[in-house]
Chains A and B, each alone.
Chain A
């Protein structure tokens, strides 16, 4: 397990913390085998997103299974359209 995360980073993101967050993050960094709190923040941010997307995929697959094959295709088109709308707004 790499103690620096990610190894090929070129950008930086500033993150501010309260005293309580500082203590919690630095302790968690040690428990997760990360060299710095910053490395832990990057790793946890990625993990949080991966878990969020996996959860959404599972919910969508479950909803699709309830609606049958026609409903699943309709829902897929709706999601695709919503995604494109969202990207257009950005």
Chain B
């Protein structure tokens, strides 16, 4: 049994009180307050699950080509989950094992999408982008990915 440590007073109109009371009875709650508590917990739980990134399956030992800032196109080792690839390095080129920077690339165009502090962040960004990709039927989306990228760059500071 969970110990109740706080108490709240929820103000309601008559119409709300009637609707909540009915719902509490229909869902087998002894009081309207306990129904509200469960409803709010369920809502917050659903909100949390909705924001979770979709985990993509990553191949550990892939090789793919990326275009660097100086115009060269090089092959790098990294993880792949088409159409994405992650390699250790940045737009200047691949870095050694001690380097903390990882870059997410869009494989069909060999384009580096973003350089982030960790591989984990690259995977999360790929997951978020894949939602956009799904909405666009597997095509490169026409909508601006800047807000998504800015959020990841901000969280990496």
Contact = CB atoms under 8 A, between A and B. Distances in A.
Interface size class of B (residues with CB under 8 A): 20 to 34
A11 B15 CA distance: 10
Contact of A42 (B10, B26, B37): B10
B64 to A, nearest CB: 39
A48 B37 contact: no
Contacts of A15: 7-10, 33-34, 36-37
Contacts of A38: 8-11
B77 to A, nearest CB: 41
B12 A16 contact: no
A10 to B, nearest CB: 7
Interface size class of A (residues with CB under 8 A): 20 to 34
Contacts of A44: 36, 39-40, 43-44
Nearest to B27: A52
B6 A19 contact: yes
A42 B33 contact: no
B41 A21 contact: yes
B11 A17 contact: no
A70 interface: no
B7 A41 contact: no
A72 to B, nearest CB: 24
6 contacts: A12-B12, A16-B37, A22-B5, A45-B39, A47-B43, A51-B43
Interface of A: 6, 8-19, 21-22, 24-25, 28, 37-42, 44-49, 51-52, 86, 90
